[in-house]
Structure formats: C-alpha cells, structure tokens
Chain A
Amino acid sequence: MFSRAYKTVVTVPPLVWVTAFLLAPYALMFCYSFWSVSPEQNIVHSWNLANYQELFQKAVYWQTLLRSMWIAVRVMLFSLLLGYPLAYFLSFYAGKRKDLLYQMVIIPLWVSYLVRAYAWKTILGSDGVLNTLLQYVHATRHPLDFLLYSPFAVVLTLTHIYTPFTILPIYAALEHIPRNLVEASHDLGATPAQTFWKVIFPLSIPGVVAGATFAFVLSLGDFLAPLLLGGPSGIMISNIVVSLFGAAYNWPLGAAISLGMLVIVVSLLFLSERLEKKWTFS
C-alpha cells in the first residue's frame, strides 16, 4: 500500500535531521576526545590519546565515576522500592480511583525539576523546614547538617524526581497482565501473596528493568542536583564535565569523559533491552 516514493518522503527528513544533529555531534565529540587544548585556550586538532591516559591514570576521575554510580544505584533501588508497590496498588487495587491516582503520579513528573530540587533545598537546609521543625518539637537541639550539601541530599532529591519515572513502565507492564491469569492462580489454590511472586512479578520484569534503567542512567548523568544540594562531597561525574566546559576550560578532556558516559549508557541500554526481551512472553 505504501509506495517507495511515500516511504522515501517519510524517511528522509527525520533521517537527515537525526544524522545532522545527533550522529554528527556524537562523531564530533568522538573527535574532540582525541584532541587537546593549547595553553592559549585554543583547541589543537592533533590526534593523541593524552586525554584517555589522563582519565585512566588520575584517581579523581575513577573515584568520582564510582561515587556517581553508587549514587545512581541507590536512587534506582529506592525508586524501585517506593515505586513498585505503588504501581501494584494502582493496577490491582485502585478500582474506581485508578484514573485519578494515575494522574497524581504523572503530575510530579512534569513539574519542573528545578522546582522540586529547590523544594528539597528549602526543606533540608540548617535553617530549613525540617531542621526548624525538629528543633521546634525538641527532637534535636542543633540543626543536622548532613541533611544538605551531601550525597544523602542528592540521593533523596533524585529519588524524589525519578520515582514517577520508574512507576510508569512498571504500571504499564502490570496493566498488561491479563486478569484471568490472576484468577487462574487463585483458582489453583495460590494466595494473593503466592500469586504475586509466582505470576505477577515475573510478568512485570520488563517494566521493572525499563524503570530501573531510566532511574539509573538519568541519575548517573545528572549535574543539577549535585550543584544545588551536593556540596563538595556530592560531586558527580557530570559536574567535572561541566567545569571542563566552563571554568576549567578543557573541551577535549570533557569530550572524552562525555564519550565514556555515552558508551556506558548505550551499553546499559543494550543490556536492559536484552533483559527485557528475555522476560517477555507473548
């Protein structure tokens, strides 16, 4: 039904755009990673591996990367722990309020990142809501300062931001499970708890993988929350990149790190895609 002309017209414009503004920039980033910066702040287009050597040799990069991954893992785990039971409740027990509750899950998702990060900043500060509340009820005498400007604050904020991101794919996967499978399980003698572990959870795994990947990848590359709430102990890998493109002017080195991040992210995406395929039964 669709002629070759139709298909060409339809494929070419987005293909061209994507090549020009996605592929080419990545390729350029690849090139930059092999260049270097001269003392006069010019980009020198001579090809060498200096940047990569720097990355592999200097401990600070590895430490920061590992810290970032550790933060990302925690965000992923907490998001899943918070998000899965809510998604399950929404899908199986919400009844007439399902629609309304689903909207309530989406709304925070689209409320400005900045607004939410800022909200936590005002809550966690030593002069902030939480500290003054605790002192007001005499639970503590002095403000707790680990609350803000720490990895704790970053994990908390990012969990707050990415939990809805994990709820959505899990909810979608749960909704896809035919309810007669749940009935069949009950019919065969399994309690709701047994039914959950033996039928519902296995069938929801693709959604869990998708949600976990979202949370992990987006947390890993985040630079805003660390800047607002991380303090010196909460610096993440993207912050290093940002400064390399800012004050610590060294675009090639920044490009090398970005490329590394791109490779990590794409590999993770491939991995999660395969995991999802393995657990899809249709």
Chain B
Amino acid sequence: MPSLNALPNTEAPGKPSAARPTLLSIRNVAKTFGRNAVLRNVSLEIAEGEFLTILGESGSGKTTLLRIIAGFETATSGELWMESARLDHQPPYRRRVNTVFQSYALFPHLTVEENVAYGLRVAKRPAAEIAQRVAEALDKVKMTAHARSKPSKISGGQQQRVALARALVNRPRLLLLDEPLSALDANLRRQMQVELKSLQREVGIAFVFVTHDQEEAMVMSDRIALLRSGELEQVATSREIYNRPATAYVAQFIGHTNLLKGEVRGGVAKSASLAWPTSLPDGSALFSLRPEHVRGAGSSPSNSAAVRVRGRVQHQAFHGATELIRVECADGLVLVVRTASPVSLHDEVELEFSAADAVPVRESPERN
C-alpha cells in the first residue's frame, strides 16, 4: 500500500557518501540584487534522506538560497544539479521539490483537504488515489478532524501542519522549509521540532530547513550549513560544529563561548596571563573555549594539564539546571563559565580548564 514513506530508513546521518548519494548539488551559486551581493560562491552537496539546516542571521542569504533551490529566484551565476540533470533550468512547477512557506501560504478559498490535494489534482492523479493519499497525509500530521475547515478557521500551529502535509503528499525528492516554526510560541515550537524530526526520519525524504535559531538547528539537524553574508562559514554535523568550530563567528554564533586572543611561541599559547601547550605554529592565534569546559579548580581529572585562573564573579544568570556566570580575571580577561554549583556576586573563585578544550579557530573578517 503506497504511503508517505518514500525511502527506507538509513542509520548514519551526515555527508553524502556511497550509502547516502548526493541528491542536490549546489555549485558556485551567486546571487546579486542590484548592487547587493546576497550570495557569493556557495557550494553545497545535499545527501538523500538527510536533515540539513541552513543557519544564519537575517541578511545572511539563507532564504535567498532556499528560494533559488525552489525556483522562485534565478541564481546570477552557478548551477544546481539534481539527479544528473540541471535543476536551475526548470521552472518551479517542474521541480520535484516542495516548499513549506514561512507564512504557510495556504489557499484561503480551499478547505484543508483541498489544499492538501492541490498538487495531486494539478498532476491529474485519479480521484481515488488523491482521496487516499490526502487522508493518509492528514492523518500523519493529525489534522484529519479539520479536513473540511477553511484555513482562516484553524490556528497557526494547525496551519503549519497542513502546509507540511500539502508539501509532503506529493512525495518530493526534497522538502524545503523556510523558518516554518518562527511564528509559533516557545513550547509549541519545541514540540514541533521533535515532531518534524521524527517525521523526517519516518518519510526518509531530504529536508532542507532554514532558520536563524542555532539551538533549533542543533536539535533537529544531521548537518548544519552556517551562512554568513552570503558565504558558507562551516558545514558539519551538529556535534562537530559545536565542538570544533572552524571560525570565531561559528564559535560565537553556536552556543556560548569565550574567545581568547593569544600569541603562540615555541608550542606555547599565551593569552592574557594564561599559557598552555599547543601544536599550532608561531604567530597570533584565536581560541574558542566553551563555558562548560571551565570548571572549579581541582575538579578536573588529575592527569590532564589544567590551566588555572582566579577571578571575581561579576554577573550571574540563572538557567535552570546550570548558571552562566561572568568572572573577571587578571589582565582584563572576562570568562563566561557554566556551573551547576551556586555562586554569589563578588565571590572569589578558582577556575581551571584543559588545554585541549581551547579549540583554535580562524578569524572571521568583516564582509560588507
């Protein structure tokens, strides 16, 4: 019995590989609006069945990139290839790509059912097939009870589900989602993140998800492509991008971090009054140190070389399970530290971190 499950489940998320062939190949895509270069030389390969998030601030070009894939914009230069054919030569209505719009874009004059059936009707599928596939799709997003309602009568969250069903029922090769959760309130958003993720696993279709929310990206994605001012900063799995940020921008955009500027001389990195061993060549360097890697003195396993630092608590923010505190140390160094043990303002604290946790990152130069 045909269903929404297009492809079998694959275990390992991540890069295109033999097990997970490339579905969409974005090659050197650039886009200029007038004098404004929104995308510059973006190249990316999207694997079948993966959940890839394009992450970036507003103005980074992420929505433009998505629209180019969908076909609503034409790239100024570059190519798109899907399944050994040029995708960018096709108008949007011939691409096996469907989009979930940020504002859902449900047709107000059609019922929920008719909205979901739209793509199938346009493709002139037989009525019985349409009825069955639509019923299934509605069931998957739990909107069967509202099949006969008009979009104006259902809530935002419900509209979003309908938009999802309407896109997925066509069994696209690729599903594009343009910040679909941004209009939802926090709790509903978290719930939808989980549902979307499991839906994607279930149907096995590649999802390209666009958002500016880094937490959302990390929770949902197999891989994240971080876009800044029209260029890709880093493309990696959530874990990798968090633990091994490539540049200062990535380190700061994803989660909290401490950026330590320093000089390397003969295998030793010096920053403010701190020093630790490193294998970097001589010269100036930048390191990213996550707040959770800065612990109370003496709490690290004794065999690791711990870098000691002392300071005074300047600011604390309660985050539930942990606190994020700002500690003012010698030489103007301010460290952001995540701790589970309560501290008070103006407390004197002794901290330490392992040299290995100071991850070297590249500079992120200003782009106009």
Q: Which residues of A contact B (CB under 8 A)?
A: 178, 180-181, 183-191, 194, 198-199, 202-203, 279, 281-282
Residues in B whose Cβ lies below 8 Å from that of A199: 107, 109
Within 8 A of A (CB), among B111-134: 118-119, 122-123
Given contacts A180-B103, A181-B105, contact A186 B92 (CB under 8 A): yes
| Interchain Cβ contacts under 8 Å between A and B, 27 examples | A178-B103, A178-B105, A180-B101, A181-B105, A181-B107, A183-B70, A183-B92, A184-B106, A185-B118, A186-B72, A186-B91, A186-B93, A187-B98, A187-B99, A187-B167, A188-B170, A189-B119, A189-B122, A189-B123, A189-B170, A190-B118, A190-B119, A190-B122, A191-B93, A199-B109, A202-B109, A282-B152
Majority SS at the chain A contact face: helix
Judge whether B166 is part of the interface by a CB distance below 8 angstroms: yes
- In the bound complex, how far is the Cα of B105 from the Cα of A184, in angstroms? 7
- In the bound complex, how far is the Cα of B71 from the Cα of A190, in angstroms? 13
> Which of B70, B106, B123 sits near A187, CB closer than 8 Å?
B70
- In the bound complex, how far is the Cα of B99 from the Cα of A180, in angstroms? 11
Given contacts A198-B122, A281-B109, contact A188 B98 (CB under 8 A): yes
Q: Which 9 A-B pairs have the closest CB atoms?
A: A188-B119, A281-B108, A184-B105, A186-B92, A180-B105, A190-B122, A187-B99, A186-B93, A281-B109
A108–chain B nearest beta-carbon distance, Å? 32
Residues in B whose Cβ lies below 8 Å from that of A185: 107, 118, 122
B119–chain A nearest beta-carbon distance, Å? 4
Judge whether B150 is part of the interface by a CB distance below 8 angstroms: yes
- In the bound complex, how far is the Cα of B151 from the Cα of A282, in angstroms? 9
Q: How many residues of B contact A (CB 8 A)?
A: 26
- Of chain A, the residue at the smallest CB distance from B178 is A180
Q: What are the interface flags for B337-351 relative to A under an 8 Å C-beta threshold, 1 for contact and 0 otherwise?
A: 000000000000000
Residues in B whose Cβ lies below 8 Å from that of A194: 122
- In the bound complex, how far is the Cα of B107 from the Cα of A268, in angstroms? 29
- Of chain B, the residue at the smallest CB distance from A199 is B107
Given contacts A180-B101, A187-B99, A189-B123, contact A282 B93 (CB under 8 A): no
- Of chain A, the residue at the smallest CB distance from B98 is A187
10 more contacts with CB within 8 A, not counting A187-B92, A187-B99, are A183-B101, A184-B106, A184-B107, A185-B107, A187-B97, A189-B119, A190-B93, A190-B118, A190-B122, A198-B122
Residues in B whose Cβ lies below 8 Å from that of A187: 70-72, 92-93, 97-99, 167
Residues in B whose Cβ lies below 8 Å from that of A186: 71-72, 91-93
Cβ of A203 and Cβ of B109 under 8 Å apart? yes
- Of chain B, the residue at the smallest CB distance from A190 is B122
Which residue, of B97, B99, B106, has the highest number of chain A Cβ atoms within 10 A? B99
Given contacts A189-B93, A202-B109, A281-B108, contact A183 B122 (CB under 8 A): no
Residues in B whose Cβ lies below 8 Å from that of A203: 108-109
B185–chain A nearest beta-carbon distance, Å? 22
Given contacts A183-B72, A183-B92, A194-B122, contact A188 B101 (CB under 8 A): no
- In the bound complex, how far is the Cα of B150 from the Cα of A202, in angstroms? 15
B112–chain A nearest beta-carbon distance, Å? 13
B95–chain A nearest beta-carbon distance, Å? 8
Cβ of B109 and Cβ of A188 under 8 Å apart? no
- In the bound complex, how far is the Cα of B70 from the Cα of A46, in angstroms? 76
Residues in A whose Cβ lies below 8 Å from that of B150: 281
> Which of B70, B98, B108 sits near A282, CB closer than 8 Å?
B108
Which residue, of A180, A189, A279, has the highest number of chain B Cβ atoms within 10 A? A189
- In the bound complex, how far is the Cα of B150 from the Cα of A198, in angstroms? 16
Residues in A whose Cβ lies below 8 Å from that of B105: 178, 180-181, 183-184
Residues in B whose Cβ lies below 8 Å from that of A198: 118, 122
Residues in A whose Cβ lies below 8 Å from that of B170: 188-189
